[in-house]
Structure formats: structure tokens, C-alpha cells
Amino acid sequence: MNHNINIPIRAARRAGAVIIRYLEQRKDVKVDIKGKNDFVSEVDRQAEAEIIEVLRKAYPDDAIIAEESGNYEADSDYQWIIDPLDGTTNFLHGHPYFSVSIALKYKKRLEQAVIYDPLRDELYTGIRGKGALLNDRRMRVSGLSGLQGALLGTGFPFKIPHHFECYMNTFKALHPQVSDIRRAGSAALDLAYVAAGRLDGFWEIGLQKWDFAAGVLLIQEAGGLVSDFSGGQNYLKTGNIVAGSPKVFKGILQSIQPHLSESLKV
């Protein structure tokens, strides 16, 4: 591959600078409603524009899937998957948990990943076959032998409320078995935390591919496992994801499967 990881790193840092610049003036930020419980701000759009400018300057022939501006179709095997501000609601409330997420897919495989936490200046990077790093230090998923003592991350399906009862059943199945469960509001950063061993596992229903594409590769390169709810590899299509260190991953999957509706088992 002729794609340099320093390019998406530069793009993520530029987007992060936009986010931080607006943070103290966030109450004056223009916000539009995309749908129920789904917001987009001028910060999202400006951060995304910064990312696209960097990527298109370096790789003008690549395709881009971006959360806010849609698709830049191209006849290319290279496809960038971008979330300029994962955790917009957190940002708008000054809740300090949000991130920039950029992934590169070549044909059907994720090849590069960058997740940037601009508040903490923490940069998570991964390259297929070369491992995953947090600020230049190698990341490994946690070594827990099962769910006992695990700290899990998750997200409520607030955009798809018809799945909420099913989700709560999975939550009830897992909660008695683990140390605790966190719902922090940025799936990309949650997945980066799994790769770094700060969370032992994660599950969520109905994510968009830009929410988790980069995080998936980080976890895989840090020694973890990722699947859809059936245990397969169709998560980029379904948006349903289970991730974690190997034995925690297995425990999550086995615990939630009996509580899934038929539509979520595919």
C-alpha cells in the first residue's frame, strides 16, 4: 500500500484543532437536527472539511464516506471512512468525551485507523499487520480470563428506539456478570479504550460504519476480537458490534445472543 499513516494523522489533528477552538464558544455554535436525537453542528462540518481537504490533497482519486457531507464516489479500491466529531452531543454540553475517527479501507479490508482525542491529546493509530499504538506506545487489549471483573462499554440505541427493549435485555444479562458498564457517548473512543485495555469489552446496536471502522482495526491489531451479533464479520453492514479481549468478547457474545430479536441475529 502506498498510503502513509501520517496523512490521516495530520487530518485528525487539524480536525481536533477546530473542535478545541470552538469548545469554549460551544453555546454559540449553530446546531441543526438531522433526526430524532441526532444533531450536527457547524463544528462537525468544519472539522470534516479539514479532514477531507488533507485527504484529497494527498490522495485525490480515493473514495470518501463522510458522516456529514456524504460520499465522494470514486473508481478506487481505497475508501476513507470519516467521523469528524464522534460525540457531538457530549461536545455541545461540554462533556469531555468525544473524538475524531478516520479509517482507510482497501477493497474489503480495513487497513489504517486513526482516532484522536483532542482534549487529552491522545492519538490512537493502527496499521493492518503492524500493530496499534497510543501516542507511540504499543497497545494490547486486557488479559482478563472472562467477564468476572470486567469493565464494559456500550451505547444506548437512542436513534432506533424499537430496539431498546431488546438492548435492555442484553444489558440485564451482562450487568450481574461484570464489574460495571459505562455508557460514555463516543463509540469510536470507547473502542479505542478497548484496544488500550481501559475497557475490557464493548457492544452496541445499530452503529454507522464511521462510528466504529477505525476502532475495529485498532482492537484487532491490539490482539482483540470483533464480530457482529451472530459471531460473523458483517458488522460494517449491520452496525451491530461486539468487541473485546478474546475471552471477554466470547462472554459478551454468549450472554447477549439468547436475548436478541430475530432481526438482530443476522
Residue 173 has pLDDT above 60, yes or no: yes
The domain locations on the chain are 6-138, 151-264
Cell, residue 195? 484496544
CA-based R_g, the chain, Å? 17
Q: Which fold has domain 151-264?
A: D-Maltodextrin-Binding Protein; domain 2 (3.40.190)
pTM of the full predicted structure? 0.94
Residues facing 79 on adjacent strands = 63, 105
**Positive/negative CA dihedral, 48, 53, 59, 62:** positive
In angstroms, how far is CA 148 from the centroid of its own chain?
A: 25
Calpha distance 179→152 (Å, rounded): 8
- Say what the pLDDT of residue 76 is: 87
Q: Which listed CATH number (2.40.50.140, 3.40.630.30, 3.30.70.20, 3.30.540.10) goes with 6-138?
A: 3.30.540.10
pLDDT in tens, 97-142: 999 999 999 998 999 999 999 999 999 999 999 999 999 999 999 9
Whether the predicted pLDDT of 48 surpasses 80: yes
Model confidence at 25, pLDDT cuts 50, 70, 90, reads: confident
Query: Over the stretch 199-250, which tens digit does the pLDDT of each residue have?
Result: 999 999 999 999 999 999 999 999 999 999 999 999 999 999 999 999 999 9
